């Protein structure tokens, strides 16, 4: 088990390989469909200091407001990452993000971005919303909540020992491509 | 090989203790104009979002034990099972994607569908306020989220299917259908030249294999498949989704389809996609196939994919007005 803390250096992320298990602590920024389109089309500068050397998490959480007005994550597992395939490589390059957390894996364009920038795709268990919310220490801030709505907003959180597996590394490796190829071969055999 | 411990959910007494339904609550079925199902539907949503059905849990445990000890597949399914226990204990949503909220209401003559629809919508708003549901309804083009889980035109969310039946009681079934698994559903039109699939069982089988391979782990495998052969495009999809309400332990009454399901389920689990697409032996937990009469020119195979976190539950209000959840 490898412990990683944000801000993450390029060397630290380039040392990771497909299959490595990681416990991540530090600053994570949630973003999904609306946020990715927005980042690529508007490229807002105010996001740069927030995202540099940090990690993006494809997640739309269930949140609750505490009595003191602060936010709490109730359930917060990953959403399907492949929808961000058209945008992810651009986002990686523009904002120098060191990692992308999600589920289901991403494609060749993103893999190219990971290699160029020095970043990894970090997989976590889909559907484990209650369990993963326990690893969220606090909500630091939220941006674009009014504009995007709660599931799509940029939630900025601090996590502790967030459990991840490297499934796409900065050297072109992808567990998802391997499983896809194997299953396609098997399907061909089954179909006769 | 060691096997994972059987997960134990909180007892029925604990669940009753947390109920939002007032003690002695009773629906007045004798006077349908004063019928108020809202509290019972709210309780239905509380249970559904945090408590996975036992047949799904049993299938997850079996799937976990089929994976090699220490493998990524086994570890991932341990995490899933741990999450099931935790969500139940905390009363927290199992998954942050509490889905499209879909209801099937069966009611006797005299019950006002407009009234029940209003009550269901009110229960959905309240469940969202309590963070049992994520506000999952946005306008199509602008992406505007009103935060209450309702579409303002009474059209698309929550989805409510009504049917009048001959029984004196009311049944409300709910399914929380996540967006990730909804996105990997598929509809095929046979014959399909690219797949080499004709209008027969061999052709249907090819469609289902193709859909599961295309889904990979993106619908949160191990998934459950509802497959409808026939109907038109709308009815086929509708029925394929409704099939996901069935218990995994239920047997298809059509022997030919039952055999088809069993053989194909075994084959699908040799694809090697595994839990979350990490590779492994557990790709699909269950498969339900049904056929519907169709137009001679059209032969659709409609496939709905449900994630491993298959959240479904039934509220039954018998003629005496008492509510039972199962």
- Digit-coded pLDDT (tens) for A72-108: 999 999 999 999 999 999 999 999 999 999 999 999 9
CB contact burial B116-150 (16+ within 10 A = b; e otherwise): bbebbbbbbbbbbebbbbbbbbbeeeeeebeebbb
- Rounded to the nearest angstrom, the minimum Cα separation between A116 and chain B is 25
Residues in chain A closer than 8 A to B76 (CB atoms): 125
Strands B186-189 and B223-230 turn out to be unpaired
Mutate: best of A19, A104, A107, partner B, most B CBs <10 A: A104
Mutate: best of A183, A184, A192, partner B, most B CBs <10 A: A183
- Kindly state whether B272 is in contact with chain A, defined as any CB-CB distance less than 8 angstroms: yes
Contact across the interface for B271 and A79, Cβ inside 8 Å: no
Rounded (5°) CA angle A109-A112-A116: 145
- Rounded to the nearest angstrom, the minimum Cα separation between A68 and chain B is 16
B201: helix, coil or strand? helix
Q: SS3 for B202-220, per residue?
A: HHHHHHHHHHHHHHCCCCC
| pLDDT for res B2 | 62
Structure tokens at A49: 């200091």
Residues in chain B closer than 8 A to A175 (CB atoms): 278-279
Phi then psi for residue B35, to 5 deg, are -65, 130
Residues in chain B closer than 8 A to A125 (CB atoms): 76, 79-80, 83, 276
Across the A/B interface, how many CB contacts are shorter than 8 Å? 169
Strands A55-57 and B311-317 turn out to be unpaired
B30: helix, coil or strand? coil
* pLDDT per position as a tens digit, A125-147: 999 999 999 999 999 999 999 99
Minimum-distance CB partner of B79 among A59, A125, A187: A125
Residues in chain A closer than 8 A to B267 (CB atoms): 190
Question: CA B72 to CA B221: how far, in whole Å?
Answer: 13
Helix axes B201-215, A175-191, angle to 10 degrees: 180
Nearest residue of B to residue A131 by CA position?
B83
* Catalytically annotated residues of A: 36
Q: What is the DSSP letter of B319?
A: T
Q: What is the CATH number of domain A2-191?
A: 3.20.130.10
Whether residue B265 contacts residue B251, with contact meaning beta carbons closer than 8 Å, is answered with: no
- Rounded to the nearest angstrom, the minimum Cα separation between A7 and chain B is 27
Contact across the interface for B307 and A178, Cβ inside 8 Å: no
Closest to B233 measured CA to CA, from B144, B160, B302: B302
Minimum-distance CB partner of B83 among A61, A104, A128: A128
Contact across the interface for B277 and A148, Cβ inside 8 Å: no
Contact across the interface for A61 and B96, Cβ inside 8 Å: yes
- Rounded to the nearest angstrom, the minimum Cα separation between A35 and chain B is 12
Closest to B276 measured CA to CA, from B222, B213, B212: B222
Closest to A181 measured CA to CA, from B206, B237, B258, B272: B272
Q: SS3 for chain A, per residue?
A: CEEEECCCCHHHHHCCCCCCEEEEEEEEEECCHHHHHHHHHHCCHHHHHHHCCCEEECCCCEEEECCCCCEEEEECCCCEHHHHHHHHHHHHHHHCCCEEEEECCCCHHHHHHHHHHCCEEEECCCCCHHHHHCCEEEEEEEECHHHHCHHHCEEEEEEEEEEEEEEECCCCCEHHHHHHHHHHHHHHHHHC
Minimum-distance CB partner of B87 among A130, A163, A179: A130
Strands B170-177 and B100-107 turn out to be antiparallel
- Cβ-proximal residues to A46 (8 Å cutoff; 6+ apart), any chain: none
- Kindly state whether A25 is in contact with chain B, defined as any CB-CB distance less than 8 angstroms: no
Share above pLDDT 90 across residues of chain A, in percent, rounded to a whole number: 99
Chain B residues 294-323 with CB within 8 Å of chain A: 307-309
Handedness of CA B161, B162, B165, B167 (dihedral sign): positive
CB contact burial B55-91 (16+ within 10 A = b; e otherwise): bbbebbbebbebbeeebbbbbbbbbbbbbbbbbbeeb
B305: helix, coil or strand? strand
* pLDDT per position as a tens digit, A144-185: 999 999 999 999 999 999 999 999 999 999 999 999 999 999
- pLDDT tens-place values along chain B, 326 residues long: 567 778 999 999 999 999 999 988 999 898 988 899 999 999 999 999 999 999 999 999 999 999 999 999 999 999 999 999 999 999 999 999 999 999 999 999 999 999 999 999 999 999 999 999 999 999 999 999 999 999 999 999 999 999 999 999 999 999 999 999 999 999 999 999 999 999 999 999 999 999 999 999 999 999 999 999 999 999 999 999 999 999 999 999 999 999 999 999 999 999 999 999 999 999 999 999 999 999 999 999 999 999 999 999 999 999 999 999 99
Nearest residue of B to residue A104 by CA position?
B218
Nearest residue of B to residue A174 by CA position?
B278
Closest to B284 measured CA to CA, from B257, B297, B303, B312: B303
Residues in chain B closer than 8 A to A77 (CB atoms): 95-97
Question: CA A178 to CA B117: how far, in whole Å?
Answer: 48
Largest Cα span, chain B: 60
* pLDDT per position as a tens digit, A16-61: 999 999 999 999 999 999 999 999 999 999 999 999 999 999 999 9
Q: What residue has token string 């506000």?
A: B135
Residues in chain B closer than 8 A to A168 (CB atoms): none
Beta bridge partners of B106: B163, B171
Contact across the interface for A104 and B217, Cβ inside 8 Å: yes
């Amino acid at each position: 088990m490898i412990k990683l803390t944000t801000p993450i250096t390029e060397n630290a992320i380039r040392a990771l390989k497909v299959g490595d298990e990681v416990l991540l602590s530090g600053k994570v920024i949630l973003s999904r469909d609306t946020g990715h389109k927005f980042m690529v089309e508007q490229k807002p500068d105010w996001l740069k200091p927030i995202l540099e050397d940090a990690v993006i998490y494809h997640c739309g959480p269930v949140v609750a407001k505490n009595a003191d007005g602060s936010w709490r994550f109730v359930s917060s597992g990953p959403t399907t990452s492949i929808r961000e395939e058209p945008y992810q490589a651009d986002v990686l390059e523009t904002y120098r993000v060191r990692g992308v957390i999600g589920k289901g894996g991403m494609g060749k364009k993103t893999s190219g971005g990971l290699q160029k920038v020095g970043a990894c795709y970090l997989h976590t268990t889909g559907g484990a919303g209650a369990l993963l919310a326990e690893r969220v220490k606090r909500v630091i801030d939220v941006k674009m909540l009014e504009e995007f709505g709660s599931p799509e907003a940029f939630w900025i959180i601090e996590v502790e020992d967030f459990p991840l597996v490297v499934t796409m590394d900065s050297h072109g490796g992808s567990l998802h491509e391997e499983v896809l190829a194997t299953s396609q071969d098997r399907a061909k055999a089954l179909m006769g | 090989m060691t096997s994972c411990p059987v997960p134990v959910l909180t007892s029925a007494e604990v669940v009753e203790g947390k109920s939002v339904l007032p003690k002695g609550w009773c629906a007045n079925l004798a006077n349908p104009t004063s019928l108020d199902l809202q509290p019972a539907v709210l309780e239905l949503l509380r249970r559904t979002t945090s408590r996975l059905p036992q047949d799904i849990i049993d299938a997850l445990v079996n799937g976990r034990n089929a994976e090699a000890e220490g493998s990524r597949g086994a570890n991932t399914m341990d995490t899933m099972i741990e999450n099931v226990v935790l969500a139940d204990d905390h009363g927290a949503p199992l998954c942050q994607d509490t889905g499209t909220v879909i209801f099937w209401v069966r009611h006797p003559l005299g019950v006002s569908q407009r009234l029940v629809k209003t009550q269901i919508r009110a229960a959905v708003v309240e469940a969202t306020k309590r963070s049992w549901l994520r506000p999952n309804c946005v306008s199509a083009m602008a992406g505007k989220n009103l935060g209450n889980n309702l579409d303002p035109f009474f059209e698309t969310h929550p989805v409510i299917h009504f049917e009048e039946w001959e029984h004196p009681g009311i049944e409300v079934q709910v399914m929380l259908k996540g967006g990730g698994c909804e996105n990997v559903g598929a509809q095929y039109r046979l014959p399909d030249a690219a797949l080499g699939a004709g209008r027969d069982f061999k052709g249907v089988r090819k469609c289902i294999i193709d859909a599961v391979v295309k889904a990979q782990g993106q619908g949160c495998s191990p998934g459950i498949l509802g497959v409808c052969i026939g109907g038109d495009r709308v009815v086929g999809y509708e029925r394929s989704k409704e099939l996901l309400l069935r218990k995994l332990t239920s047997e298809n009454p059509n022997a030919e389809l039952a055999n088809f399901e069993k053989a194909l389920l075994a084959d699908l689990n040799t694809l090697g996609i595994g839990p979350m697409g990490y590779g492994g032996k557990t790709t699909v937990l269950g498969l339900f196939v049904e056929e519907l009469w169709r137009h001679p020119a059209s032969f659709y195979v409609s496939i709905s994919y449900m994630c491993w976190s298959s959240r479904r539950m039934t509220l039954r209000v018998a003629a005496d007005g008492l509510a039972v959840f199962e």
